[in-house]
Amino acid sequence: MNYKISLLENKISESLEELGFEKTSVTLNPSNRPELGDYQYNGIMPLAKKNNQNPVELAEKLVALLKDYPELKDVSVAGPGFINLTFSDKFLLDFINESNENIDINYKQDINKTIFLDYGGPNVAKVLHVGHLRSANIGEALKRLCKAVGCKTISDVHLGDWGRPMGMVILEIKTRHPELPYFKDDYNGEDVKFNITNEDLLELYPIATTKAKENENIMEEARKINYELQNKHKGYYALWQKLVDVSVKVVKKIYQDLNVSFDLWEGESDNFEYMTEMFEYLYSKNIIEESDGAKVIHVKKETDKKEMPPLILIKSNGAVSYEATDLAAIWERTHNFKLDEIWYMTDKRQELHFTQVFRAAYKSAIAKPELQLIFNGFGTMNGPDGKPFKTRDGGVMPLADLLDMVTEECEKRLSENVTENRNNIARTIAIAAIKYADLLPFRTTDYNFDIEKFTDLNGKTGTYLLYSTIRMKSLLTKAEENNLHPATMSILKESERKIILTMLDLKRIIKRSYENYSLNEICEYLYKITNLYNNFYGENHIITEENKELQTSWLTLTKVIYDNNCKLLNILGINIPEKM
């Protein structure tokens, strides 16, 4: 809770002690009837009941002790024993002035953990789609939120760079270019002049996988190549590295546009390096069992209501599974880092996979009980018709096309005053629009893509927030040019009061967002405070105001709200353009 509010909570707790009660922890909440007070305390009724006292009488005794407290303007009893508190002007002004000096006091919580975040999850040679977009947006924002509350973070893109599809793609290249040195028995690792682009790969991947699915011989051949690749066959391995490089370069560019970055660029292939070590350990623990020719770990619990199949480590055809890779990733991460938690951000349809992996990790003690493995699944972004997002010809919508489409729409709406850099600015706005729309619903909720709605300058949108925040900035710049500076706030009127009360609630919003692993409340909050500020802005002529004390107060408030908006937009991973 906000340190200012906890000041009051402590005061109430002390007063209750004065009335003869044991030390109780007190929680104040924003009032749901603002006409009666700013915050309310609902703890009197249960306390009175527990101690066989009359709640209204007890509430009145407490109110008598709080009456002269300078941080409160008013305190009163309502109904069966609710206590309503109205803050004094001094309390609210102090809060804004302290925030002006150190905006971080509104974010930091006493959480001191090291959190490993696994998000992004792009696949080599395969097109990035909207599911990858959601993983990147949510993961990046959660990482920034973790940092804001005081945690250390380690982020990993967890590249899908291993497994059978790699064998299929290499086989397709081999079929098309059998003359390449990679496929010769005497290939010795020399550099090969073979130009393959990401477009080539995107064209090749669906063909390669369809061929293998439709023809058992091709599938067998691909499996063999994959097996040799995993055993570091010189030619296949060198070609594979080239494919990874080509894909990663393109993916990095898109992530850069999206303001998404990672500490680690590990992939499934890196986890694979730990496979032998991990299997030795698992065998020594005696928890691997044979089942229909596969090697499995049983993860069912007595209490399970739903079916819980065993986790397959090695399939009956000898292939190492996606589950084994994720288990090896936990092995690797816990051996390399001292972690409190590992968070996974993927489509919620992968929940069973992660449930199995987590259970196997705890059962085998690869994960110690103190390590928290947390699955943060998310809902789907659907097309405007509510069905899974498709291109006009029915294919998967590539992420790059989606970004271009929204950028084009934003450029149309860009003011004529923006003459330079229009495309870059439109891109920044488009990304803000997409991210805000993506983070606004609760994490697990599905939502529909609606380009008109997402880019609307007057709605609950990223564009509206950017526009308003840029306007705050230009007001502050104009003030500076006129030699007017924010300093301390000393005058408070009704509309400012509402803004400051909303600011006071931020710390609680941040805490809830962190605890729910969801950015939706921060998105709602940004909209609320920006709206309140815009109403205030509309009512007052800040630059021409003659009362200097009032003018300084307004500028100070503007600066705090501006800094706060920048900070919150930054947590969402949204950049603010110079103008729009």
**What Å distances lie between residue 354 and 325, 361, 443, CA to CA?**
12, 10, 17
| End-to-end C-alpha distance for the chain, whole angstroms | 36
Residues 500, 96 contacting (CB under 8 angstroms)? yes
Of residues 344 and 378, the one with the C-beta less far from ligand ARG = 344
Site string for ligand ARG, 100-139 (x = CB under 6 A): ------------------x--x-x----------------
Nearest approach in angstroms of CB 257 to ligand ARG is 19
Nearest approach in angstroms of CB 118 to ligand ARG is 5
Nearest approach in angstroms of CB 354 to ligand ARG is 8
Cross-sheet strand order for the sheet of 372-375: 152-156, 114-118, 341-344, 372-375
Residues 400, 333 contacting (CB under 8 angstroms)? no
> E-strand spans in 391-541?
447-448
Of residues 118 and 172, the one with the C-beta less far from ligand ARG = 118
Taking CB under 6 A as the criterion, which residues in 344-383 touch ligand ARG?
A: 344, 346
Nearest approach in angstroms of CB 266 to ligand ARG is 10
Nearest approach in angstroms of CB 330 to ligand ARG is 9
Residues 507, 1 contacting (CB under 8 angstroms)? yes
Applying CB under 6 A, among 158, 164, 427, 435 the residue interacting with ligand ARG is 158
Of residues 158 and 233, the one with the C-beta less far from ligand ARG = 158
Nearest approach in angstroms of CB 141 to ligand ARG is 17
**Is residue 160 a contact point for ligand ARG (CB under 6 A)?**
yes
**Is residue 326 a contact point for ligand ARG (CB under 6 A)?**
yes
Of the candidates 457, 456, 438, 463, the one whose C-alpha atom is nearest the C-alpha of residue 448 is 438
What is the Cα–Cα distance from 257 to 140, expressed in whole angstroms? 13
Of residues 172 and 326, the one with the C-beta less far from ligand ARG = 326
DSSP 3-state of 431: helix
Residues 269, 220 contacting (CB under 8 angstroms)? no
Of residues 46 and 395, the one with the C-beta less far from ligand ARG = 395
How would you label 476-485 residue by residue, b for 16+ Cβ within 10 Å and e otherwise? beebeeeebe
Nearest approach in angstroms of CB 346 to ligand ARG is 4
Of residues 9 and 118, the one with the C-beta less far from ligand ARG = 118
Of residues 132 and 427, the one with the C-beta less far from ligand ARG = 132
Nearest approach in angstroms of CB 325 to ligand ARG is 7
**Is residue 427 a contact point for ligand ARG (CB under 6 A)?**
no
What is the Cα–Cα distance from 137 to 345, expressed in whole angstroms? 10
Q: For residue 502, give both structure tokens.
A: 């909303």
Helix ranges restricted to H, 258-374: 268-272, 275-284, 322-336, 351-363
Interstrand relation of 114-118 and 82-87 (parallel, antiparallel or unpaired): unpaired
Nearest approach in angstroms of CB 204 to ligand ARG is 18
Residue nearest to ligand ARG (CB): 121
Taking CB under 6 A as the criterion, which residues in 511-540 touch ligand ARG?
A: none
How many residues bind to ligand ARG according to rule CB under 6 A?
9
**Is residue 266 a contact point for ligand ARG (CB under 6 A)?**
no
In degrees and rounded to multiples of 5, residue 275 shows phi and psi of -60, -50
Nearest approach in angstroms of CB 323 to ligand ARG is 9
Q: For residue 47, give both structure tokens.
A: 């306390």
Of residues 220 and 273, the one with the C-beta less far from ligand ARG = 273
**What Å distances lie between residue 411 and 398, 421, 425, 471, CA to CA?**
20, 11, 8, 19
Q: For residue 302, give both structure tokens.
A: 């007595």
DSSP 3-state of 87: strand
Of residues 76 and 350, the one with the C-beta less far from ligand ARG = 350
Nearest approach in angstroms of CB 407 to ligand ARG is 24
Of the candidates 226, 306, 212, the one whose C-alpha atom is nearest the C-alpha of residue 272 is 226
Of residues 37 and 121, the one with the C-beta less far from ligand ARG = 121
Of residues 376 and 556, the one with the C-beta less far from ligand ARG = 376
Distance of CA 63 to the CA centre of its chain: 42
List residues binding ligand ARG (CB under 6 A): 118, 121, 123, 158, 160, 326, 329, 344, 346
